[in-house]
Amino acid sequence: MTNPAEPSAPQPAAPDAAAAGGGRSANQGRRVAARNRAALIAAAREVFAEQGLNAPLSAVARRAGVGQGSLYRHFADRVSLASAVLDENVRHIERAAAGPDADLPRVLGVVTWHLTRSTAFVDLLRVRGDGAEAQALSGRVRTVLARCQPAGTRLTADDLMLAVAMVSGAVAGPTLAERERIALRAWQLLGARVGPVRPWEAADDA
Amino acid sequence: MTNPAEPSAPQPAAPDAAAAGGGRSANQGRRVAARNRAALIAAAREVFAEQGLNAPLSAVARRAGVGQGSLYRHFADRVSLASAVLDENVRHIERAAAGPDADLPRVLGVVTWHLTRSTAFVDLLRVRGDGAEAQALSGRVRTVLARCQPAGTRLTADDLMLAVAMVSGAVAGPTLAERERIALRAWQLLGARVGPVRPWEAADDA
Amino acid sequence: MTNPAEPSAPQPAAPDAAAAGGGRSANQGRRVAARNRAALIAAAREVFAEQGLNAPLSAVARRAGVGQGSLYRHFADRVSLASAVLDENVRHIERAAAGPDADLPRVLGVVTWHLTRSTAFVDLLRVRGDGAEAQALSGRVRTVLARCQPAGTRLTADDLMLAVAMVSGAVAGPTLAERERIALRAWQLLGARVGPVRPWEAADDA
Amino acid sequence: MTNPAEPSAPQPAAPDAAAAGGGRSANQGRRVAARNRAALIAAAREVFAEQGLNAPLSAVARRAGVGQGSLYRHFADRVSLASAVLDENVRHIERAAAGPDADLPRVLGVVTWHLTRSTAFVDLLRVRGDGAEAQALSGRVRTVLARCQPAGTRLTADDLMLAVAMVSGAVAGPTLAERERIALRAWQLLGARVGPVRPWEAADDA
DNA sequence: GATGAATGAGCATTCATTCAT
DNA sequence: AATGAATGAATGCTCATTCAT
């Protein structure tokens, strides 16, 4: 998984018993509903990270170990699935900014953590105005950044978002280490200080 | 056309000398071959700019006024067609750097012109190591930039390419003017001076 | 509703006594069972009239405010649901024929009323021998018509049913008025006298 | 085949040689284009006659022994395929009306022949205003009938079309003989004289 | 007995690729 | 060397049906 983000990553609902039978795999009733939803989001996070936001939804369903129909029941369309995936990323950033000793470098570190883990998140912050949901999500990031900015700075909130987009655009590479290295060098070229690169949870360890 | 780039844009090869023959358009030998190739590149530039690099190749062939089979004769796969499209962009940049009074700002201006005109070019410079062709093309840009750099600068060639990628990543927006505005502000955040934004040809007018 | 047919149309079984319980709507025993069955028939009448007999059964369940499973508990398959819907239409015709001053024109008027209101009823009388249920229902109509026929007529019961099928086949059109106009002209071409077009209930008003 | 209508019924393009290989069946080049188109129409005539106009198009392609893509190349959508099928029926009727000794009964005989052979044709004449193509086709039938009508008749062209729709609606039954018997009795109930039931070609035999 | 979620087969449609002419 | 048609795998989406709760 590219971006677990949740301590208790839900297990795919698939390789259960009862699959040994011939025909259709057992209908496990509504007990698995919540588990399926989580598995779909987790699978979508992986698939979108690997293949981009246009990846086949059938691949998401397959990786989640869930029928196609269940995917469509939980998420009416591709956008609502993507939103669910990205919503988690944004929530983490908001949580990071809500901490007691939150400042801009610390938040940028969290942003960078997500940028280097999720291609989908990169796409979110790079592409502007691509549907109401995407705007809402990137707007939340913008709000967080604007609030963290020290008084008397020369940069507008738009400038901050532009800087994030610039780093987003630059972040590419086959390995995670490579992506982090590039991201940090990019922030350096922009003259920005960046705190430790981590999701919010890890902040406890600091 | 989003990125004409060539003063003499080749005409689609279609309803042309076929008036001579009866039913089917005559096979006109290697004369049409060159014309078809050019028409395919021109069509691909438009289609890729409008629909992205995953646009259906059938749309390219249709717009070029050329059969599907001819497209595959000239370009074995999607990548080689894209390379041919982007090769023109890179050649323009090389030409700009070969001029008598070429310096880094002037070349960056040309780079910016292409970034704001061609979505495909943005993708080229943003995604690293995506196949040998793409690497060769971005390598040529790297060479050009390295050569233009004034002696005694603190930035490596990698840094320059990274900066270009950062601007590439930030460039988005519905209108051309918007894309140019964003690109220039991005360079500004990087502390770079940028010459006039133009393709090489226009440099004569300066 | 295109064909209410019942003065006391049953209400959807949905947001009802559930206010008493906490989360899930309470299982209210066999009281709701009857109400659900009626709601399903009413919903099916509407949906089948609007979208034809192949309308998704999920749409019927949704409009009835009832779970999918309940639909299948009450009606084993699509045919048995359709039969339940059409049974009401046939009962109305039988009731019309049971009245004190019932004669053929009067019954044909009632038949026409249903033909012009319910696409499903048109299908019933047009398609012959399509399953035992359909045959039973159209057989009842046949019986009614045969009984109403004046002695010494030249038409057999089969002829009467054929005439009804002919009118059924011709009845089409976007508006109710249009359908009635066509139906009456069709009867005229057949040389049949037709009483007032109305469901049985309205006969009291005459 | 339910409605051959053409003396030289095209053979399905399918069970050719070269199918013995493992993977994809051979691409037979553009030679088979015309044959495929004819096979598609023939297959559609059968499938539409058996399953109605909403039959799966994949079934048509399969029966024609043709790939799905070829179907879509020849016919952009379901309507254009259906039109191609029904166009033949209408052309036969027009040809029948163009003969030297054409009169209304003779044309009605031909109409009846098609009604009893093609469910799709029944649908065409029964459903009004279902798209421009359908209206055009039924309009042509209307024109033919109007022209054949003897001077001084009491029936309008609309009445004639209504009568045809009535017979269309009544025609149903498992066997061809049954359908013909019903159709002829239906015309009798309408008081219409009907010539021999046959497609135009057979008129030579008379 | 109600509920609502799970499941996957099925259909429409697109498109990369091959190939006879 | 161009052409344009053939092919079927792949994908999106729907819906009938089953089943644990």
Strand F contacted by D29 CB (< 7 A): yes
Among the residues of D99-155, which ranges form H helices?
104-117, 119-126, 132-148
Nearest by CB to residue C186, choosing from D128, D129, D166, is D166
What is residue C152's DSSP assignment? T
Contact between chains at C166 and D170 (C-beta distance less than 8 A): yes
SS3 D197: coil
Q: What is the pLDDT of residue C159?
A: 94
Q: What is the pLDDT of residue A151?
A: 78
Inter-residue contact C116 to C183 (CB < 8 Å): yes
Nearest by CB to residue D172, choosing from C128, C189, C191, is C128
- Count C/D contacts: CB-CB distance under 8 Å: 64
Q: What is the pLDDT of residue B27?
A: 52
Q: What is the pLDDT of residue B129?
A: 58
pLDDT of residue C105 exceeding 80: yes
Mean pLDDT (whole number) for A113-129? 84
Residue nearest to nucleotide E9 (CA to C1'): A24
Chains C and A touch (3+ CB pairs under 8 A): no
E strand bases under 7 Å from protein CB: 1-21
Q: Give the burial class of B116: count Cβ atoms within 10 A of its Cβ; 0-12 exposed, 13-18 middle, 19 or more buried.
A: buried
Per CB-CB distance under 8 Å, the chain D contacts of C162 are 170, 182, 185-186, 189
Which sign, positive or negative, has the C-alpha torsion B102, B107, B108, B112? positive
Q: How far is CA D191 from the centre of its chain?
A: 26
Mean pLDDT (whole number) for B2-16? 44
Non-local CB neighbours of D37 within 8 Å, separated by 6+ positions: D74
Name the token pair of D178. Answer: 């049954």
Mean pLDDT (whole number) for C23-50? 81
Residues 61-120, chain D: which have Cβ under 7 A from strand E?
68-69, 72, 77-78
The string of pLDDT tens digits covering residues B45-101 is 999 988 888 899 999 999 999 999 999 999 999 999 999 999 999 999 999 999 888
pLDDT of residue A174 exceeding 50: yes
Strand F contacted by D114 CB (< 7 A): no
Q: What is the pLDDT of residue C202?
A: 59
Chains C and D touch (3+ CB pairs under 8 A): yes
Inter-residue contact B52 to B43 (CB < 8 Å): no
Strand F contacted by B68 CB (< 7 A): yes
Inter-residue contact B187 to B194 (CB < 8 Å): yes
Q: What is the pLDDT of residue B107?
A: 94
Residues 111-150, chain A: which have Cβ under 7 A from strand E?
none
The string of pLDDT tens digits covering residues B160-189 is 999 999 999 898 887 899 999 999 999 999
Per CB-CB distance under 8 Å, the chain D contacts of C190 are 166, 189-190
Q: How many CA atoms lie within 13 A of B153 on its CB side?
A: 15
Interface membership of B165 toward A (CB under 8 Å):
yes
How many angstroms separate the CA of C80 from the C1' of F20?
26
The C-alpha atoms of residue D118 and residue D177 are separated, in whole angstroms, by 14
Q: What is the pLDDT of residue C160?
A: 94
Helix (H) and strand (E) counts in chain C: 9, 0
Tell me the average pLDDT of chain A.
84
Non-local CB neighbours of D100 within 8 Å, separated by 6+ positions: none
Strand E contacted by A60 CB (< 7 A): no
Interface membership of D166 toward C (CB under 8 Å):
yes
Q: What is the pLDDT of residue B175?
A: 87
Non-local CB neighbours of C167 within 8 Å, separated by 6+ positions: C112, C115, C183, C186, C187, C190, D166, D169
Q: What is the pLDDT of residue D50?
A: 86
Contact between chains at B166 and A167 (C-beta distance less than 8 A): yes
Strand E contacted by A13 CB (< 7 A): yes
Strand F contacted by A78 CB (< 7 A): yes
Q: What is the pLDDT of residue D16?
A: 41
- What does the pLDDT profile of chain D (206 residues) look like in tens digits? 344 433 344 444 544 434 344 567 767 767 789 999 999 999 999 999 888 899 999 999 999 999 999 999 999 999 999 999 999 999 999 999 998 888 999 999 999 999 999 888 988 888 766 788 889 999 999 999 999 988 778 889 999 999 999 999 898 888 899 999 999 999 999 999 999 999 986 545 44
Q: Give the confidence band of C17 by pLDDT, cuts at 50, 70, 90.
A: very low
Which nucleotide has the least CA–C1' distance to D27?
A: F6
Q: What is the pLDDT of residue A7?
A: 38
Interface membership of A182 toward B (CB under 8 Å):
yes
Per CB-CB distance under 8 Å, the chain C contacts of D163 are 189
Per CB-CB distance under 8 Å, the chain A contacts of B189 are 159, 162-163, 166, 190
Q: What is the pLDDT of residue C154?
A: 81
**What is the four-CA torsion angle of A179, A181, A184, A185, rounded to 10 degrees?**
-110
Quote the Cα angle for B67-B73-B79, to 5°: 105
B71 phi and psi angles, rounded to 5 deg: -55, -45
Chains linked to C by 3 or more Cβ pairs within 8 Å:
D
C76 phi and psi angles, rounded to 5 deg: -65, -35
Contact between chains at D166 and C167 (C-beta distance less than 8 A): yes
Residue nearest to nucleotide E12 (CA to C1'): D57
Q: What is the pLDDT of residue A129?
A: 63
Contact between chains at B166 and A162 (C-beta distance less than 8 A): no
